Structure formats: structure tokens, C-alpha cells
Amino acid sequence: MDGIFLFSILNSQFAIPLQTNMMFSVPQFIDVEDKIAGPLTWRQLLWMIGMGATLLVFFNIFDTALFFIMAVPTVLIFVALAFYRPNGFPLTTFIFYAVLFIFRPKVSVWERPLRQAPVAKAPVEKKEVADTGAKHIDQEKLTELARILDKG
């Protein structure tokens, strides 16, 4: 449905070409991290490098039996930090919020917002109304009021 859109403004005519096919593609999957080294993202690659460095330090410090005992949990922890995503979040974020939950107070206290100091107002003088006592309505006024109400 390619065509031309014609319009005029102040006796000047303009034409805008219409195109149905897009000139640029809309990016999709923008929440997926870029792959850097094969199937690994930056975050995963850095965790794997950190795991290798930690295992190298363990290998140089401990003897063979203790190295394997220390290496198994270390590998599991680093692999979990690199690849496990509970509820779609990285495990590091999940651990951060868990620690925050543990150390924050569990009771929420509503704090009333601070009020501004009230503005001083001039004292209002009270006028005393004289009490006239019981009101007296005579028969003439009653008949006149009845006649006004009957008229509508």
C-alpha cells in the first residue's frame, strides 16, 4: 500500500511518500545479555575466570586431598553464581535482597509527616445575640401565611 499523502498549507502543496515496509527493524529480546565468549555473557565469563583463579590458589595452598574437598563446593558456588537465575534475576541480586531482608526491621511503623507550624490568626470577636424570648405569632399573620402557601 505504497502511495503519496498530499496536503496543502497556506496555498502550498506538500507530498509525503507513504511506505508500508519499515526502513528499520525493531530490536527484540533487549533483556537478553550479549554473548561474549561462545555461549557465555560477560557476567558468566567473569565468574568462570574467578572460579579458575580461586581453584589455582587452592591448588597451590592445600595438598591434593584437601584441594578436592575444597574444590567441589567452590565449583558449585561459582557455577550457581554464574548460571542460576531464580525468578529471572541473577543469583547475586537474589542473595543481596535476601541479606537486605534479614537485616531490615520486620515491623513497619507509619511515620506521620511533619506538619507546618499553624499560622496565628486574629482572635474572632463573638457577638452576643440578644434572646428575645418566646416568639409570638398572632392570628392575622397565620392566616396571611396560609393564604401565601395556598397560592403556591
Measured between alpha carbons, how far is 16 from 4 in angstroms, rounded to an integer? 6
User: Is 78 within a domain?
Assistant: yes
Query: How many CB atoms are closer than 10 A to CB 82?
Result: 21
Cell of 143: 392566616
User: Is 28 within a domain?
Assistant: no
Residue 16: beta bridge partners? 5
Residue 1 has pLDDT above 60, yes or no: no
User: Is 44 within a domain?
Assistant: yes
User: Is 15 within a domain?
Assistant: no
Measured between alpha carbons, how far is 88 from 76 in angstroms, rounded to an integer? 19
pLDDT of residue 133: 65
Name the percent of the chain in helix, strand, coil, to the closest 5.
45, 10, 40
CA nearest 87: which of 75, 98, 77?
98
The structural domain count of the chain equals 1
What's the predicted TM-score (pTM) here?
A: 0.50
Side-chain half-sphere exposure of 129, counting CA atoms within 13 A: 3
User: Is 43 within a domain?
Assistant: yes
User: Is 47 within a domain?
Assistant: yes
User: Is 70 within a domain?
Assistant: yes
pLDDT of residue 125: 79
User: Is 101 within a domain?
Assistant: yes
Side-chain half-sphere exposure of 8, counting CA atoms within 13 A: 4
For the stretch 68-118, pLDDT in tens is: 999 999 999 999 999 999 988 899 999 999 999 999 878 877 777 777 777
pLDDT of residue 20: 64
Range of the domain at 52: 34-105
> Alpha carbon of 64 to those of 52, 58, 60, 61, 71: distances in Å?
16, 10, 10, 10, 10
For the stretch 7-25, pLDDT in tens is: 777 777 777 777 666 577 7
Q: Which residues of 39-70 are buried (b: 16+ CB within 10 A; e: fewer)?
A: ebbeebeebbeebeebbeebeeeeeeeebeeb
pLDDT of residue 19: 66
